Structure 1
Amino acid sequence: MSKKFPTFLSKIDALDKSFVKKYKSSTNVRRNVVVFAIIANIIVTVEHSLQALTFMLTKDCDNNSTGLEYYFKKHFHYIFDFFPYNTAFAFILLLANWIGAYIWNYGDVFIIAMSMILTARFHEIREKICIYTSAMPTSDKKFSKPLSNDLQKTNFMFWKEIRRDYIMMSELCRKLNDLISDVILFDFASNLSFILFQLFAGLSHKEKFAKILYFYFSFGYVVLRICLLSIFGGWLYEAGRASLPILNAVPTEIYNIEITRLIHQMHYNTPCFTGNNFFAVTKGLTLSVAAAVITYELVLIQFSPDIHADDHSTCL
């Protein structure tokens, strides 16, 4: 993906420059993406800080160290139970732990940001179609006449350009989906796994206030992330089909073969993101994820005695 993405970015840049010349945007997409990214990173910083604080306050390990050594042996007990303690190595592990948290968060932010950008472009196409059709004569007017040859040619060229732009945007979505479909699949799988085990831990154990606070915050945040992924992905899917009601109601005077082709294009080649073609990212995916969480959570609860029996951690 990283090797192919620079080429893809150059295509996005070229298409974006052509859209800026031909279309007017009613929203500041750049501002929305930046604000969303900042808020998401602030939340993940708070969430990971709560995790570290909760770990310090609620977990006990059998070690005789103090200060940083005690904290690192508690935090990375699964490593220092097998390897001798080293402060420099402990700091590297701590840095890797924080980087991993931001990388996990980055996948969601990246997918949502790309959905916001592409959705805005499809809305620009829809707005231009709305403006054009509202300015043209309609058949319900009493003395409506067929368009002159010059207007017919202009009308034909307008719809041809709209269809060409729509095809370019659809092709861009398809290529982007080919690049990030594995990321989407991994992102949904990791979020779903976290929800399952976090919910299982919250239902199975009664902990201190700090643990309860971290549980509700982290669990709510991951649920929000997976819902936002489905919602923004669903908006992209809907934006690709948003012009269909307008196209189906186009006045007879301006209807032509290019409109028919555009309608077929929207019906059979609707842009959307997929998880490596296992599922399409739409709003309905939220309900499917909720059903999966309930099903597998019940399975975890049924096998909970075996899970607890196999838990022999030295840091509890």
Structure 2
Amino acid sequence: MGLKKALPNKEYTSEVKWLQRATRKDFLFDGSFQEAIGPLLAMAQCFGIMPVIGIKSKTACKLQFKWNSYRTIYSFVVFILLLIIMGMTVWITASHEIKFSRMIAVIFYGSAVYGIFCFIQLAPKWPRIMRRWESVEAKMPQYRTQAGKRQLARRIKMISIIILMTSLVEHALNMISIVHYAQTCLDPDKPIKEFFRVQLSQMYTFLPYSPWLSFLGKFLNVIATFAWNYMDLFVMVVSVGLSSRFKQLNEDLERVKGKRMSEDFWALRRTQYRKLSDLCVLVDDAISQITLLSLSNNLFFITLQLLRAIRPMPSIQHAIYFWFSFIFLLSRTLAVSLYSSQIHDESKKPIVILRAVPTNTWNSEVRRFCEHVVNDTIALTGMRFFFLTRKLILSVAATIITYELVLIQFQTEDSTETECRRNW
């Protein structure tokens, strides 16, 4: 009672809510995409991505975006600092002979800067998209068990953990290989200082060495690395969310395959399918820049890693990092393509059920439903340049092989570099 008298009513209520035991309701899932993606977006905000308020709420009605919120200000500060780093990198690259290998840092920081900018652009649209998504989910056939409601959240959680933990291991291996390079080719008595000089070379070309600058530069490097991996993860998670809704509709249709159903039933299912299609178009319009950046970025680095694979490895540390990074990059690119193509695959499955409708119950609603499924191409796109379907995987593989053959023909060594640096 003393605590209640000492505190205002509002503060007392929030304090009691914080201290109270979790109830059964706190562990139940409603199966919504907002509930499933909330923890992942909350983690992304630590790195200046998706500055939306109320991101961990279970309903989209609590989502909002404010230009003067600390999340938005933090995102802009990160964006500006990375833009400065990218400017330094571009200046150093332009000061020398332009080569494919020297464009690595420019592409890396450039894609991170543009990726964060795309997420800042997406943030004001996100509350409206999630409210639309939530309204579509409410009109879908509902899950019958708590396990079904939990499935989407668990799937997104597992994908996120695998991608983020693997990227953390890759980054750690990269640091180990740079430390080994600093001890081998530079000053072995000052490995930490030389490590920062190598990894933040674009910054220390213009500024004197400082431990505080090293900490800031490494922090920005970690953010850029996270943004580089997060673009792929975000496209995968959104694809899983959309494809799961088509799968949910398909499972409901599978239960009535070959049975006599009323015209009202098919009208309702056609409307649900139409709403899902419109939701895909809405989401694609909002994230298509991120999708295009993700796939083009992966295409560049896969080509680069293939070119490096034909060179001898200077050390065991470098070889372990290289092959781990290369396999992770290939796996991540393949995962993005496969998860994204599931939207198109699931959107075409209703045609099998519709063809099994008995002839004597065939009606105009079934016919219109068939026309939607057959004629509409429902898939994420890269700014309408291409559709993310299974056919795209073969096209990307053929493109990589073509680029690789061209790069091998025009590959030359830089005679101005020392033997140690050339090997690395």
Task: Give the aligned partner of residue 9 of structure 1.
Answer: 130
Instruction: Give the distance between the partners of 1:239 and 1:27, measured in 2 at CA.
Output: 20
1:75 aligns with 2:199: yes
From 147, 154, 175, the equivalent of 1:52 is 175
CA offsets per residue over residues 202-234 of structure 1, 9 Å max, x none?
213432111111111101111111111111122
For the structure 1 residues 310 and 185, does the alpha-carbon distance in structure 2 shift closer, same or farther, using more than 3 Å as the test?
A: farther
For the structure 1 residues 155 and 27, does the alpha-carbon distance in structure 2 shift closer, same or farther, using more than 3 Å as the test?
A: farther
Letter of the 1:33 counterpart: I
For the structure 1 residues 63 and 80, does the alpha-carbon distance in structure 2 shift closer, same or farther, using more than 3 Å as the test?
A: farther
For the structure 1 residues 26 and 63, does the alpha-carbon distance in structure 2 shift closer, same or farther, using more than 3 Å as the test?
A: closer
Instruction: Give the distance between the partners of 2:419 and 2:125, measured in 1 at CA.
Output: 43
CA offset at residue 275 of structure 1? Answer: 0.8
Question: Are the counterparts in 1 of residues 179 and 191 from structure 2 also a CA contact under 8 Å?
Answer: no
1:232 aligns with 2:313: no
Name stretches of at least 5 consecutive residues in structure 2 with no aligned partner: 1-121
Task: Give the aligned partner of residue 125 of structure 1.
Answer: 249
Task: Give the aligned partner of residue 100 of structure 1.
Answer: 224
Question: Are the counterparts in 2 of residues 181 and 274 from structure 1 also a CA contact under 8 Å?
Answer: yes
CA offset at residue 61 of structure 1? Answer: 5.2
Letter of the 1:2 counterpart: A
CA offsets per residue over residues 51-71 of structure 1, 9 Å max, x none?
111111135555587253232
Name stretches of at least 5 consecutive residues in structure 1 with no aligned partner: 137-153
Question: Are the counterparts in 2 of residues 23 and 124 from structure 1 also a CA contact under 8 Å?
Answer: no
CA offsets per residue over residues 11-56 of structure 1, 9 Å max, x none?
1122223326488759811110111101110000001110111111
Task: Give the aligned partner of residue 43 of structure 1.
Answer: 166
Instruction: Give the distance between the partners of 2:417 and 2:249, measured in 1 at CA.
Output: 57
Equivalences for 1:1-316 in 2 at 5 Å? 1-19=122-140, 21=142, 25=148, 28-59=151-182, 60=184, 62=186, 66-136=190-260, 155-305=262-412, 308-309=414-415
For the structure 1 residues 23 and 176, does the alpha-carbon distance in structure 2 shift closer, same or farther, using more than 3 Å as the test?
A: farther
Once structures 1 and 2 are overlaid, which stretch shifts more, 161-170 or 59-68?
59-68
SS state of the match for residue 284, structure 1? helix
Task: Give the aligned partner of residue 146 of structure 1.
Answer: none
For the structure 1 residues 182 and 97, does the alpha-carbon distance in structure 2 shift closer, same or farther, using more than 3 Å as the test?
A: same
Letter of the 2:211 counterpart: T
Question: Are the counterparts in 1 of residues 337 and 389 from structure 2 also a CA contact under 8 Å?
Answer: yes
Instruction: Give the distance between the partners of 1:188 and 1:207, measured in 2 at CA.
Output: 30
SS state of the match for residue 414, structure 2? helix
For the structure 1 residues 242 and 86, does the alpha-carbon distance in structure 2 shift closer, same or farther, using more than 3 Å as the test?
A: same
CA offset at residue 251 of structure 1? Answer: 0.3
For the structure 1 residues 260 and 295, does the alpha-carbon distance in structure 2 shift closer, same or farther, using more than 3 Å as the test?
A: same
Once structures 1 and 2 are overlaid, which stretch shifts more, 187-196 or 70-79?
70-79
Instruction: Give the distance between the partners of 1:101 and 1:220, measured in 2 at CA.
Output: 17
TM-score (norm 1): 0.87
Instruction: Give the distance between the partners of 2:339 and 2:150, measured in 1 at CA.
Output: 16
Task: Give the aligned partner of residue 7 of structure 2.
Answer: none
Instruction: Give the distance between the partners of 1:196 and 1:113, measured in 2 at CA.
Output: 25
CA RMSD of aligned residues (A): 2.3
CA offsets per residue over residues 221-260 of structure 1, 9 Å max, x none?
1111111111112211010010102212210122110011
For the structure 1 residues 226 and 64, does the alpha-carbon distance in structure 2 shift closer, same or farther, using more than 3 Å as the test?
A: closer
CA offset at residue 301 of structure 1? Answer: 1.3
Instruction: Give the distance between the partners of 1:73 and 1:292, measured in 2 at CA.
Output: 36
Percent identity over the alignment? 28
The number of residues matched between the two structures is: 298
Relative contact order, CA 8 A, sep 6+: which one is greater?
A: 1
Instruction: Give the distance between the partners of 1:248 and 1:173, measured in 2 at CA.
Output: 24
Instruction: Give the distance between the partners of 1:289 and 1:96, measured in 2 at CA.
Output: 31
TM-score (norm 2): 0.66
